[in-house]
Structure formats: structure tokens, C-alpha cells
Amino acid sequence: MGRIVNLECRKIEHGSEDYWQAVEVRRDVLRRPLGLDYTSEQLNAESSFHHFVCENEGEIVAYAMATSEESMDLTIRIKQVAVIAGLQGTGIGRLLMSYVEEWGLEQGFESAFLHSRGYAIPFYERLGYVGYGDIFEEVGIPHQKMLKKL
């Protein structure tokens, strides 16, 4: 798939058919390239998180999750942002992030926080995120903490 025909972003429910399709997108983009997978415990722990997808002609092509960050009052944490390989660089990631940030604002959050993989830092910087702290390792690769005022 390389064409965007009819793109829609929306919130989905944990455990739904859409959720399991989104898990496959995450596996393909975020885990398999590192030789990793999700455990059932990890996926079950996501039941209290908020899940978002973008669909193109009914196929899930992008995913993100969000949760409140207990250590950071009024800050939403965005995690597991993934766009399928054939559509990376088309603006879908930007659209999904905007959708999640708008949702966060509607929920009363004032800022957004994330751990960016090293190669994705320029993407998040273009969206207004600012890196802080030292580079650290997560899932075996370099990451940077990033923050944005919504």
C-alpha cells in the first residue's frame, strides 16, 4: 500500500478487533526489526491506556497510545507511535500526533511527553517537541525524552 485514499484517525478500545490489528502494525514497525515481540502481560497492561489509529480505506496504517504520566501533572505520555513502512513520510504520523494531542487538550492536559527513538528525533522536533536529558537506551536502542506544550 503506497497511496492515501481515504484517511481517518479515531480512538479505539483495548481488546477490540481494531486493537489487535493495531498490535500487528506495532509488531511490524517497532518490534520485529529489533528481534522483539510483546508479551501477553505487556499487552494486558495496556488496558487502561487510550489507543488511537489512522485508517486508510479501512486498513489500520498508523497507531499511537496515550496515558497520563503520574510523575508529571497535566502531562499526557504518548507511546508506541507507528506508521506502516509503505506510508512513512506521507504525513500520516503528523496527522495522528495532531489527533492525539487535540484529544489530550480536550481531556485537560497541558503538555505531551514521549521517549523518541534516536532516528525519530527530527520528526518530533518538527512537531514542536524539545529533547531534554541524556540519551538513554530502551529496547536496545538510543532514545531521547521529549516534551511539548500543547
In tens, the pLDDT along 83-95 reads 999 899 999 999 9
Residues 41-71: tens digit of each pLDDT: 999 999 999 999 999 988 999 999 999 877 7
Residues 69-85: tens digit of each pLDDT: 777 789 999 999 999 99
**Grid coordinates of 63:** 497507531
User: For residue 52, which of 67, 64, 36 has the smallest C-alpha distance?
Assistant: 64
3-state secondary structure of 26: helix
Taking the model in full, what pTM does it have?
Answer: 0.93
Confidence of residue 142 (pLDDT cuts 50, 70, 90): very high
Is residue 13 scored above 80 in pLDDT? yes
* Contacts of range 34-42, beta carbons closer than 8 Å, 24 or more positions apart: 34/139, 34/140, 34/141, 36/139, 36/140
Q: What's the CA gap between 92 and 56, in Å, rounded?
A: 10
| Domains within the chain, CATH numbers bracketed | 7-149 (3.40.630.30)
